[in-house]
Amino acid sequence: MESLSFGKAFKYPFNRLKGMLNALWILLPIFGWFALMGYTIRIVNEFLEGKFEQLPTMQFGSDMKLGFMMFLKALPFAIVYMIVLGVVGIISYDLSQIMNFLFSCFVIPLLGVNFMKKQTVEAYFEFGVLTAMKENLGDYIVMILKTYALAIIFGLMILVLVGFPALMFTSSIFIADFYRRYVKG
């Protein structure tokens, strides 16, 4: 299966500029945040289906409900992760920082996409999906580098105001593409 090109990922949020205005919902505390979370989950699921043409139309009510439910479902993983980091931090602060960095780069992104796809609490604890990363480590590292490069470019574009929504809606595009190509099920 062909991987997503950097150029196509860069162009994605600009293919439907009106869709980038959805980022303004961040200004509406709580309700807007949950709506954006649900919208982002729908975007990631479209990426998983190979739909990279344009941002979908936001459905505020259903996106807000999805975002809220997914927030609640993510809490157990977040709590376990914080406890583990806290315990490791008691032993060694430096070790907890290294562990946090490695998990942030190599574990959480793939588990996060698995969670967004399956939308269950258990999906965040399905460590078997990490086999795809281990078996395709070179591609995974390239994907992480592409993700950071895209984030840096859109971060710089924040100065012209289009970078923020572009960054918001494409933060998981390469991770979802990796998952689509290598994770079975």
CA–chain centroid gap for 64, Å, is 17
* Domain range summary for the chain, segments of one domain joined by +: 12-182
Q: With beta carbons less than 8 A apart as the criterion, state whether 146 and 174 touch.
A: yes
Query: Is 59 buried (19+), middle (13-18) or exposed (0-12) by CB count in 10 A?
Result: middle
Phi/psi at 39 (nearest 5 deg)? -60, -45
Q: For 14-38, what is each residue's pLDDT tens digit?
A: 777 677 777 777 788 899 899 999 9
What pLDDT score was predicted for residue 103? 94
User: Which of 60, 23, 33, 8 is closest to 162 using CA atoms?
Assistant: 23
- What is the chain's alpha carbon radius of gyration, rounded to the nearest angstrom? 17
What pLDDT score was predicted for residue 57? 87
pTM score above 0.75: yes
pLDDT above 70 (res 152)? yes
